[in-house]
Amino acid sequence: MIDIHCHIIPGIDDGPKDMASSILMARKAEEEGITTIIATPHRSRVYVNDAEDVRRLTAELQEHLRCEGLSLQLLPGQEPRISGELIEELQDGRVMPLTGTGHYVFVEFPFDVVPRYAKQLLFDLQLEGYVPVIVHPERNVQLREHPSVLLDFVRNGALTQVTAGSLTGRFGKKVQTYSKNIVRARQCHFLASDAHDTVKRNFHMAEAKMLMVDEFGGDHFDIMMANATAVVNGEAIYPEAPVEVKQKKWFGLF
């Protein structure tokens, strides 16, 4: 498996605090069947993490893993919080696309709302040659309450990444239900761990894979892994047409 979203670099965000913890995460990843991880530390006002530093730290961690006899491949990336300066930061090199050389760019929304300028920014990113990937949309309250918003983003070229722990219920029933809904509606293009440690924010990738195969059939998972491979190889992704999320209707007796 390829995990395109993981906080495995030590000491730079809310992920592992030291090298020993990062190595422990790498061992857990290999146990789950993960062969490649894109290291994606937060990029925000709280965690600056310029692209140059992330590249260097990813290479340093890779060397430590090799010394430990681990074969896990690491690639650099970032998880930038949405801002009006995102395109400028991509252009001047403070932010990089996934793998450091491709054109897929993570975009993280706040957990409560979707900024009003989001649609325009996602459009402008594509005009600049990037493919925006909205990370964990299932954890955003506004998107859960108004499913048409995400559908509109996807229909206009954005891709999305659902977190394995969301599918398995780690973030509660509402998040789990919406996660399953957007997977079923072909509004989700990647499965990733968003792992931060091996305890509270573990990988859950193997568990999520089993759930997807059981509930949706194997093609959903296979497509998501093929998409992850395309990101690593710098190839284009041709997603299936998304459909509306079907919401349950409740009928009362009068």
Tally of CB atoms within 10 A around 130: 19
Using alpha carbons only, give the angle 205, 137, 105 rounded to the nearest 5 degrees: 85
pTM: 0.96
What values do phi and psi take at 161, rounded to 5? -130, 120
Q: Which pairs count as long-range contacts for 175-181, CB under 8 Å and 24+ apart, including other chains?
A: 175/138, 175/139, 175/144, 178/138, 178/143, 178/144, 178/147, 178/245, 179/138, 180/215, 181/147, 181/245, 181/246, 181/247
Any idea how long the chain is?
254
pLDDT digits (tens, 9 = 90+) for 58-113: 999 999 999 999 999 999 999 999 999 999 999 999 999 999 999 999 999 999 99
Residue 218 confidence (pLDDT): 82
DSSP character for 77? -
26-30, 128-132, 214-218: range with lowest mean pLDDT: 214-218
Q: At what angle do helices 51-67 and 19-31 cross, to 10 degrees?
A: 70
Residue 248 confidence (pLDDT): 59
Residue 217 confidence (pLDDT): 87
Q: Of 3, 14, 127, 106, whose CA–CA distance to 51 is shortest?
A: 106
Is the distance from CB of 162 to CB of 179 less than 8 angstroms?
A: yes
| CA 29 – CA 4 distance, rounded (Å) | 12
3-state SS, residue 226? helix
Strand ranges (E), the chain: 2-6, 36-39, 42-43, 73-76, 79-80, 104-107, 131-135, 159-163, 190-192
Tally of CB atoms within 10 A around 231: 26
Residue 131 confidence (pLDDT): 99
pLDDT digits (tens, 9 = 90+) for 108-156: 999 999 999 999 999 999 999 999 999 999 999 999 999 999 999 999 9
Q: What's the CATH code, domain 2-233?
A: 3.20.20.140
Radius of gyration for the alpha carbons in the chain, expressed in angstroms and rounded: 18
Write down the domain spans for the chain: 2-233
Q: Which residue has the higher pLDDT, 246 or 19?
A: 19
| CA 79 – CA 196 distance, rounded (Å) | 13
Tally of CB atoms within 10 A around 234: 13
Tell me the pLDDT of the chain averaged across its residues: 96
| CA 129 – CA 62 distance, rounded (Å) | 29
3-state SS, residue 195? strand
pLDDT digits (tens, 9 = 90+) for 34-44: 999 999 999 99
| CA 228 – CA 112 distance, rounded (Å) | 27
Token pair 């299936």 is found at: 240
Is the distance from CB of 142 to CB of 134 less than 8 angstroms?
A: no
Residue 254 confidence (pLDDT): 41
**pLDDT value at 253 more than 70:** no
Residue 251 confidence (pLDDT): 44
Residue 146 is encoded by which pair of tokens?
């108004």
Please give the average per-residue pLDDT across 183-206, as a whole number.
97
Residue 43 half-sphere exposure, CB side, CA atoms within 13 Å? Answer: 29
